[in-house]
Chains A and B, each alone.
With several copies, the nearest count.
Chain A
Amino acid sequence: MASKQSRLHVPSAPARPGDEPDFSYLKLMPAGRLGRPDSHVKVNETHELASGLVRVLDDNHEAQGQWDPHLDAKELQVALRHMVMTRIFDDRMQRVQRQGKISFYVKSTGEEAVSVAQAMALQPGDMLFPSYRNQGLFIVRGSNLTDLMSQCLSNTRDMCKGRQLPVMYHSAEDKLFSISGNLTTQYPQAVGWAMASAIKGEQHIAAAWIGDGSTAEADFHHALTFAAVYQAPVLLNVVNNQYAISTFQAFAGGEQQTFAARGPGNGIAGVRVDGNDFLAVYAVTQWAAERARAGAGATLIEHVTYRGSAHSTSDDPTRYRPKEEWAAFPLGDPIERLKQHLIANGDWSDARHDALVEELTEHVTACWREATSYGTLNEGPHLDASLMFEDIFEKMPANLRAQREQWRREKSGD
Chain B
Amino acid sequence: MAKMNMIQALNSAMDIAMDRDPSVVVMGEDVGYFGGVFRCTDGLQRKYGEHRCIDTPIAEGGIIGTAIGMGVNGLRPVAEIQFADYIYPGFDQVVSELARLRYRSAGDFYAPVTIRTPCGGGIRGGQTHSQSPEGIFAHVSGIQVVMPSNPYDAKGLLLASIESDDPVVFFEPKRIYNGPFDGDPDKPAVGWSSHPQGEVPEGYYTVPLGQANVVREGNDVTIVTYGTMVHVAEAAARAADVDAEIIDVRSLQPLDLETLTTSVNKTGRCVIAHEATRFSGYGAELSASIQEHCFYALEAPIQRVTGWDTPYPHAFEWDYFPGQKRIIAALEAALED
Contacts and interface: CB of A to CB of B under 8 A. Distances in A.
A222 B309 contact: no
B65 A222 contact: yes
A195 B25 CA distance: 12
Contacts of A103: 124, 314
B254 A165 contact: no
B50 interface: yes
B203 interface: no
A13 B316 CA distance: 41
A304 to B, nearest CB: 19
Contacts of A301: none
Contacts of A158: 315
B61 A192 contact: no
Interface in A227-276: 229, 244-247, 251-253
B193 interface: no
A188 B68 CA distance: 9
A238 to B, nearest CB: 13
Contact of A217 (B23, B54, B89, B108): B89
A63 interface: no
Contact of A178 (B58, B86, B105, B125): B105
Interface residues of A, number: 90
Nearest to A229: B57
Contacts of A393: 102, 142, 144, 166, 254
B70 to A, nearest CB: 4
B66 A226 contact: yes
B313 A188 contact: no
A199 B59 CA distance: 20
Contacts of B329: 406, 409-410, 413
Contacts of A289: none
A68 to B, nearest CB: 34
B57 A226 contact: yes
Contacts of B144: 393
B62 A10 contact: no
Interface in A200-230: 200, 206, 213-214, 216-219, 221-223, 225-226, 229
Contacts of A171: 108
A6 B311 contact: no
A1 interface: yes
A191 to B, nearest CB: 5
A320 interface: yes
A400 B75 contact: no
Contacts of A154: 314-315
Contacts of B219: none
A56 interface: no
Interface string A382-393: 110101111111
Interface string A164-194: 1110101110000110111101011111111
A219 B141 CA distance: 22
Contact of A398 (B70, B96, B103, B257): B257
Contacts of A190: 69
Interface stretch (B30-38, B236-244, B262-270): B30-38
B107 A165 contact: no
A391 B166 contact: no
Contacts of B310: 388-389, 392, 400, 403
Contact of B56 (A196, A251, A389): A251
Given A218-B89, A251-B55, A403-B278, 7 more contacts: A164-B126, A165-B125, A187-B65, A245-B30, A320-B33, A391-B106, A399-B279
18 contacts: A6-B49, A160-B105, A172-B108, A178-B105, A181-B85, A185-B92, A188-B61, A193-B70, A196-B70, A199-B52, A206-B69, A217-B89, A222-B62, A252-B58, A385-B313, A388-B320, A393-B102, A398-B254
Closest CB pairs A-B (n = 4): A192-B69, A181-B128, A188-B65, A162-B315
